[in-house]
A and B are shown apart, each in its own frame.
Chain A
Amino acid sequence: MVVKNPMASDGLLCADSLSKSFGTVPVLFSVSFSLKAGEVHALIGENGAGKSTLMKIMSGFHSPTSGRIIYDGESVTLPPNGGAEALGIVLIHQELNLAEQMTVAENIFLGREISKRGILDRQEMNSRVVRMLADVGLDISPDTRISELSIAQKQMVEIAKAMSRNARVLIMDEPTAVLTEAETRILFKQVNRLRDQGVAIMFVSHKLHEVKEISDRVTVLRDGQWIGTSPTADLDLDDMARMMVGRELSDLYPPVNEPDVDAQIALSVTGLQTKNLRNLSFDLRKGEILGFSGLVGSGRTEVFEAICGLVPMHAGSITTFGNEARFNSVAQARDAGIVYLTKDRKGKGLLLEEGMQTNLTLLALPQFARHLILDRKKEEAALTRAIRRFDIRARDPNVLAKDMSGGNQQKLLLAKVMEANPKIVIIDEPTRGIDVGTKQQIYHFIAALAAEGVSIVVISSEMPEVIGISHRVIIMREGRIAGTVSGRDINETQIVRYAAGLNEEKTHA
């Protein structure tokens, strides 16, 4: 099934026995990788497996500690800091690198503007950009500011920009992580088109079904080691997961225990209205895992931001454990036992420049202080406990949050909200951008919390996840509840029908 370590000469861009250490810490061990013209080569592995490092070495952003890069049959040293673009090797970062306040055309021609006698030839640039945008199927004006575009559109602009630089090698870091299903379709269409044009595409993703769909070959890394390279057609999803994790993943989702239909109602929302939400009502029982599904933009997140006092409520009432409640701030919600775990780990969840300690106790900080003075011993004890409880794997306890892998960041975030001893936990996209092994752990944490009597809301765009762990699923559409499914009705068909507006709710109160 798995071929031997690829010879580093049969591709357009090859890595030959690359090793890389940061300081004294090795992260890649003699990894070889070959990328052929006209193929999509997926690179998969758990967080921390070395995917990013390999990608960055192959695009010149890191230099290898040992080993060679072979481009077009010649051993080369790639210029640093994106200089490899001039050679036709373009890396599209996960955090897209576009100047937000500049226009599409200005971005595409950034650094190589066309000018006539020292004056920018805007007409010429715009007309070229219009053609490029048409090529990638993007129907926007070249004068649109980047900040006005959706993430998917920005990605297309990045791709257009790369192609305008005559890229022969396109390296994409988790391009679909923040895309909706429909946007992913558009991206894949473009990827296929580029492949047909002979571009070599390296594609990193955590979504294995997408890897299966789009790629020609798959390379798996684990713990910085090359595990295998194989034609995608020879692997099924389980094979890939097994190679990544190095063990069987028989039980990705924990067993869903029977919900107690007579359990106390922990949270009851009636007639909730905000700017984008219309008349929302639902109950959440003690120990229940309630899934919130629906398309991106259907208002799922806003429901809970409104409940937690982050978004103004126009109408509606909330009761927690039978008591009328209205929270004007996150602090009030926290004190009433409700916490919200954001989907935006880096933007709203963690202080990236701080260590685990500061991040862990931030939400529940008053608990760690007496008369405003912080109890450092108590904080340290909490960190030791959290590391053990949530299996946070950091070699150095002083590591900054930004240097942690996505999976560990997510565990830290979960640990952070749990420090507040909540009775109701709202988790938005619990496993976005994290690897299969960590996903499994997170699902088990969620199930264990529910078993302890904590009520949990899981907002998720990943259908299998919602289906795999929820007792009941509410599907939202355009700011309203489109439907509720439970038990055997929790399946992809039902959810999609509600989300797309094919099943209109008939009798929901």
Chain B
Amino acid sequence: MPELAQTETTARKPKLDLKMYGPAIALVILCIIGFSLNSAFLSEGNITNLLTRSAFIGIIAVGATFVITSGGIDLSVGSMAAAIAGIMIILMNALVDILGTGVLTVVVGAGCAVLLGALAGLANGLLTTKGKIEAFIVTLGTMGIFRSLVTYFADGGTLSLNFDIRGTYRPVYYDSLLGVPYPVWVFAVVAVAGWLLMNRTTFGRYCTAIGSNEHVAQYSAINVNKIKTWTYVIQGLCVALATVIYVPRLGSASSSTGVLWELEAIAAVIIGGTVLKGGYGRIGGTIFGALILTTIGNILNFTDVVSNYLNGTMQGLIIIIAVWLQRADWGKPKD
């Protein structure tokens, strides 16, 4: 019976291609629109600015890709960023008396921020896995907690970094290496590391398996709770890294820091082709997703055709269109 397997061909190909290249094509189209509206869009200064601004959301979104791919969700990232920023500023200001205003203070402060991020992620992870509470609920809870913490620490106002440390810390956001700003370097490193982790390691494979079907994962000798917890820790680390490069930009933190970042991060992940219910994750797509979101805002700054205040509307439309394009069965034969 050599011809037995007739039904077993795949109708995935045409759909897959759009999933693969859709985000990249969208970004190119956006760039063409931007350039045609104002040629300064493609100037070196603007491109650098665009990439730097994409870095925060991009780094956080890389972490979110792991969480979402393994079937979870983290709504707390924006608040977490604000809390980490606030605590880091308080810590650095306090360290001035002991360590002075030099590099050491900044390094210790940043190190603590990274540790805090990991711990916050661990808390989210353990509550969802060991605590058996839905990720949506857990992170909705921690979102409120983190947000109120920063408000409390700032006494309802703004936490400002010591002026001298600001001078030491400033280059992390504003300086460049080989013509590329530091935040962009960090973004690139996180992106490459994330891509490798997702596509070339057992960890990435396990995330996909868990998001695809937790039972199958469990029966396939995968420690589901451990892997899921790790995804939240990675998310926490990414938030901390993004915060560390974000703080020197303004040198302050308040209750409005990082507002709606969680939605932008999730949007970047979804625009990039990762499936919200898990089981299919694309780091490359996420990077493009983050760039697309920043580019929209940037183009609106360049033109008077659409009001800048409609930035959210444009981003919302792009998200909906992106998912609609991914869902549609283009070129799939109709049964």
Instruction: Report the nearest B residue to A350, measured CB to CB.
Output: B216
| B307: interface (CB < 8 Å) | no
CB–CB A395/B5 < 8 A: yes
State the interface size on chain B (CB cutoff 8 A): 36
| B212: interface (CB < 8 Å) | yes
A22/B9 contact (C-beta < 8 A), A348-B216, A353-B280 known: yes
For the complex, what is the distance from the CA of A384 to the CA of B47, rounded to whole Å? 47
| B313: interface (CB < 8 Å) | no
| A362: interface (CB < 8 Å) | yes
Which of A224, A362, A395, A399 contacts B220, CB < 8 Å? A362
B280 — which chain A residues lie within 8 A by C-beta?
Answer: 353
A416 — which chain B residues lie within 8 A by C-beta?
Answer: 220
State the interface size on chain A (CB cutoff 8 A): 60
B220-238 interface bits toward A, Cβ cutoff 8 Å, 1 = contact, 0 = none: 1111000000000000000
| A405: interface (CB < 8 Å) | yes
A351/B10 contact (C-beta < 8 A), A363-B220, A372-B201, A394-B5 known: no
CB–CB B8/A310 < 8 A: no
Instruction: Report the nearest B residue to A358, measured CB to CB.
Output: B205
CB–CB B8/A394 < 8 A: yes
For the complex, what is the distance from the CA of A344 to the CA of B200, rounded to whole Å? 29
Which of A62, A246, A373, A396 contacts B1, CB < 8 Å? A246
Instruction: Report the nearest B residue to A225, measured CB to CB.
Output: B3
CB–CB A403/B205 < 8 A: no
B4-20 interface bits toward A, Cβ cutoff 8 Å, 1 = contact, 0 = none: 11111111100000000
For the complex, what is the distance from the CA of A350 to the CA of B219, rounded to whole Å? 10
Determine the main DSSP class of B at the interface with A: loop
Please indicate which of the listed interface residues B11, B196, B206 has the most CB atoms of chain A within 10 Å of its own CB.
B11
Which of B9, B205, B219 contacts A395, CB < 8 Å? B9
A48-70 interface bits toward B, Cβ cutoff 8 Å, 1 = contact, 0 = none: 11100100000001110000000
| B279: interface (CB < 8 Å) | yes
A-B contact count (CB 8 A): 143
A405 — which chain B residues lie within 8 A by C-beta?
Answer: 4-5, 7-8
Which of B6, B12, B223 contacts A25, CB < 8 Å? B6
CB–CB B220/A353 < 8 A: no
Instruction: Report the nearest B residue to A341, measured CB to CB.
Output: B219
Which of A333, A395, A420 contacts B8, CB < 8 Å? A395
CB–CB B201/A351 < 8 A: no
B124 — which chain A residues lie within 8 A by C-beta?
Answer: none
| B45: interface (CB < 8 Å) | no
A48/B10 contact (C-beta < 8 A), A62-B335, A353-B212 known: no
For the complex, what is the distance from the CA of A352 to the CA of B209, rounded to whole Å? 10
Please provide the chain A residues from 376 to 414 with a CB less than 8 Å away from any CB of chain B in the complex.
Answer: 393-396, 398-400, 403-405, 408
Which of B1, B203, B212, B218 contacts A46, CB < 8 Å? B1
A26/B6 contact (C-beta < 8 A), A330-B220, A369-B202 known: yes
| A38: interface (CB < 8 Å) | no
A369/B201 contact (C-beta < 8 A), A310-B219, A331-B221, A362-B209 known: yes
For the complex, what is the distance from the CA of A23 to the CA of B223, rounded to whole Å? 40
B185-221 interface bits toward A, Cβ cutoff 8 Å, 1 = contact, 0 = none: 0000000000010001111011011001101111111
- How many whole Å from B2's CB to the nearest CB in chain A? 8
CB–CB A399/B10 < 8 A: yes
For the complex, what is the distance from the CA of A333 to the CA of B221, rounded to whole Å? 8
CB–CB B221/A363 < 8 A: yes
For the complex, what is the distance from the CA of A48 to the CA of B146, rounded to whole Å? 55
- How many whole Å from A27's CB to the nearest CB in chain B? 5
Instruction: Report the nearest B residue to A26, measured CB to CB.
Output: B6
For the complex, what is the distance from the CA of A246 to the CA of B3, rounded to whole Å? 13
For the complex, what is the distance from the CA of A22 to the CA of B6, rounded to whole Å? 9
CB–CB B213/A347 < 8 A: yes
A1-42 interface bits toward B, Cβ cutoff 8 Å, 1 = contact, 0 = none: 000000000000000000000110111000000000000000
Instruction: Report the nearest A residue to B3, measured CB to CB.
Output: A223
CB–CB B8/A396 < 8 A: yes
- How many whole Å from A332's CB to the nearest CB in chain B? 8
A373 — which chain B residues lie within 8 A by C-beta?
Answer: 196, 200-201
CB–CB A27/B6 < 8 A: yes
A245 — which chain B residues lie within 8 A by C-beta?
Answer: 1
Instruction: Report the nearest B residue to A334, measured CB to CB.
Output: B221
A336-363 interface bits toward B, Cβ cutoff 8 Å, 1 = contact, 0 = none: 0000101010011111111000100011
A403 — which chain B residues lie within 8 A by C-beta?
Answer: 7-11
A96 — which chain B residues lie within 8 A by C-beta?
Answer: none
CB–CB A395/B6 < 8 A: yes
CB–CB B7/A22 < 8 A: yes
- How many whole Å from B106's CB to the nearest CB in chain A? 32
A348/B215 contact (C-beta < 8 A), A223-B1, A399-B9 known: yes
For the complex, what is the distance from the CA of A395 to the CA of B206, rounded to whole Å? 27
11 inter-chain pairs at a CB distance below 8 angstroms, sorted by A residue, are A22-B333, A22-B335, A63-B335, A222-B1, A330-B219, A348-B213, A351-B209, A353-B280, A394-B5, A395-B8, A399-B8
6 smallest beta-carbon distances between A and B, as pairs: A331-B221, A330-B221, A393-B5, A362-B220, A348-B215, A351-B212
